[in-house]
Amino acid sequence: MAKIKTLADLRKIKEEAQSKIKLRENSDNPEQLIQIKVGMATCGIASGAKDTMKYLVEELEQEAIDAVVTQTGCMGYCYAEPTVEVTVPKKEPVVFGYVNKEKAREIIDMYIKRGELIDGIIPVNFKTIDE
């Protein structure tokens, strides 16, 4: 291990290390972050949800957007898979259907970055509950 000789050295190591536990930090304060849930039940996976999720994670990472991407079970919109629920802090969750890579790109650029609503929103009449 290289010696940490100055406070600046320490902060450099901190930055590197922080990226490794960012996921933990973020999930500790989810309400302050953009939360994205990808429906990953059988129906979702069959429709390409895995790729969508991978794409979202990588792109958000690339653009340094602090977001928590998690997988969830079936959201009940099997007809519109892959489905993705996006919760921007202090806003109500919005569910998008048919999210392929292109749609995902659009969600990031329009909704997440600029807050503009885009097509493909499934009207929400339920709340995610844990029972």
Partner 1 sequence: MTEYRMHLLICGGTGCKASESDEIKNRLNKFISDSGLQNDVQVVATGCFGFCEKGPIVKVLPDNTFYVEVKPGDAEEIIKEHVVKGRPVKRLLYTDPTTAKHISDSKGMDFYKKQIRIALKNCGFINPENIDEYIARNGYEAMGKCLTEMSPEDVIKEVKDSGLRGRGGGGFPTGLKWEITRNVENEQKYVVCNADEGDPGAFMDRSILEGDPHSVIEAMAICGYCIGADKGLVYIRAEYPLAIQRLKIAIKQAEEYGLIGDNILGTGFNFNLELRYGAGAFVCGEETALIHSMEGLRGEPTFKPPFPSVSGYMGKPTNVNNVETFANIPVIINKGATWFSNIGSDKSKGTKVFALAGKINNVGLIEVPMGTTLREVIYDIGGGIKDGKAFKAVQTGGPSGGCLTKDMLDIPIDYDNLLASGSMMGSGGMIVMDEDDCMVSIAKFYLEFTLEESCGKCTPCRVGNKRLHEILEKITEGKGEEEDIERLNELSMVIKDTALCGLGQTSPNPVLSTILNFGEEYKAHVIDGKCPAGQCKSLLRYDIVEDVCTGCTLCFRNCPVGAISGERRKPHYIDQSLCIKCGVCFDKCKFNAITLT
Q: Considering only 11-19, 76-84, 90-98, 115-123, which stretch makes contact with partner 1 by CB under 8 A? A: 11-19
CB of 44 to partner 1, least distance (A): 8
| Rounded Cα gap, residues 95 and 107, in angstroms | 11
Q: Is 63 in the site for partner 1 (CB under 8 A)?
A: no
Q: Is 90 in the site for partner 1 (CB under 8 A)?
A: no
In sequence order, the β-bridge partners of residue 86 are 36, 94
Q: Is 64 in the site for partner 1 (CB under 8 A)?
A: no
Residue 79 corresponds to which amino acid?
Answer: Y
CB of 45 to partner 1, least distance (A): 8
Residues that bind partner 1 (CB under 8 A): 1-7, 9-11, 13-14, 16-21, 23-24, 26-28, 30, 38-42, 45, 57, 61, 68-73, 130-131
